[in-house]
Structure 1
């Protein structure tokens, strides 16, 4: 079912504008302020559960994005870039931890910036002590996972903006079967809008079931 949903998703690059903040408005504002040209704090650490939106914010913010889950050695990182984001730092290998520590020092000296993330706060990570210290040396904010009610409210608002009427039971059905991060949910909503326009059909619960079972090519 998850793959069927993902097959429907259009390309929707993450941005600060399309991040659904919910109860994370303060954290989003802090990221926006940190990205401002007059900011003098070089380091920012985000933590929170999977699906809270860390990857979305890191991808939306950085000149170079690296995911330690996919590249634990940080082999593709380039210190010439001024703004870096390193996601899932808890998955760094020993080599990757050394590379990130060196990047901290390099960016501090050059005036660059580094945005990092993990599922836990710095002091709870099983990493080198010197790296944990660096990770905890800047701004630290937690991202809270949106509640189901917040997700439904956000999806309802976006659906209305598109001229779609989605009955509550359809949204509950979608939440029970779709990837639960907001980027995927919003992407699927865009796919439903496209389907509705192409087939001239209102999105009801039976139609939603049909789309999930027989995704368009």
Structure 2
């Protein structure tokens, strides 16, 4: 079996709520865990804050639908208008990047959420963007709807929290990360935890494929092979 085939076959870890390093975001994590039909939650924070991890992990844990700005608007519109389609949880990410058609669809979905909130057809609505609701570059009526229920800011992790999260991720995969590898990753790699966690997963796979321990030269070889 070739090295690349082995890497392709090894699965990447799916985002989980247990795998989210909360740091200062414990209240936001608790709100996601407690999200129930009839409630809505909007998370906002910069790139790498972990808001997308929380949306994907919530859908992974509870079922439902995950959509983002790349999803065709008619999918979202169908959820908003097709009353025969039962909904339990809808997560819409990167709302700041929605085009006009997708904004109109999300507006309609909020209206369906509110109309069904106290009925047996109630569903949970989880949305996320890069800034607070009233400063979003969206149509006015949609901006106000983002703040209809719960709103939490998702803060970036400190370097110490990132280091601990990476060590925990590696430990779950049976890896021990040398200090020079951790230092290099924090200095030279993207700082969002989803990207950092993915790098640890790929480094583990690369180590297995090469039959070599994790070292700084191995990490650099992995990154070189991917370019």
What is residue 12 of structure 1 aligned with on the other side? 13
What is residue 199 of structure 2 aligned with on the other side? 188
What is residue 50 of structure 2 aligned with on the other side? 53
| Alignment counterpart, residue 215 of structure 2, candidates 182, 204, 209 | 204
Cα offset, 1:66, TM superposition: 1.3
C-alpha distance after superposition, 1:84-114 (max 9, x if no partner) = 1111112222322221111111122222221
Residues in 1 aligned to 2:154 and 2:22: alpha-carbon distance in whole angstroms: 9
- Look up the SS of the partner of 1:145 in the other structure: coil
Consecutive aligned runs of 4 or more in structure 1 exceeding 3 Å deviation: 7-10, 160-163, 176-179, 194-200
2:23 pairs with 1:22:
yes
What is residue 75 of structure 2 aligned with on the other side? 76
| Alignment counterpart, residue 158 of structure 1, candidates 169, 173, 176 | 169
What is residue 177 of structure 1 aligned with on the other side? 188
2:91 pairs with 1:85:
yes
User: Pairwise CA RMSD of aligned residues?
Assistant: 2.3
Scaled by the length of structure 1, what TM-score is found?
0.82
What is residue 136 of structure 2 aligned with on the other side? 125
Residues in 2 aligned to 1:152 and 1:114: alpha-carbon distance in whole angstroms: 32
Cα offset, 1:203, TM superposition: 1.5
2:103 pairs with 1:106:
no
Cα offset, 1:17, TM superposition: 2.2
- Look up the SS of the partner of 2:195 in the other structure: helix
C-alpha distance after superposition, 1:8-57 (max 9, x if no partner) = 8942222212222222122111110114xxx65x2110000011111111
- Look up the SS of the partner of 1:131 in the other structure: helix
Cα offset, 1:151, TM superposition: 0.9
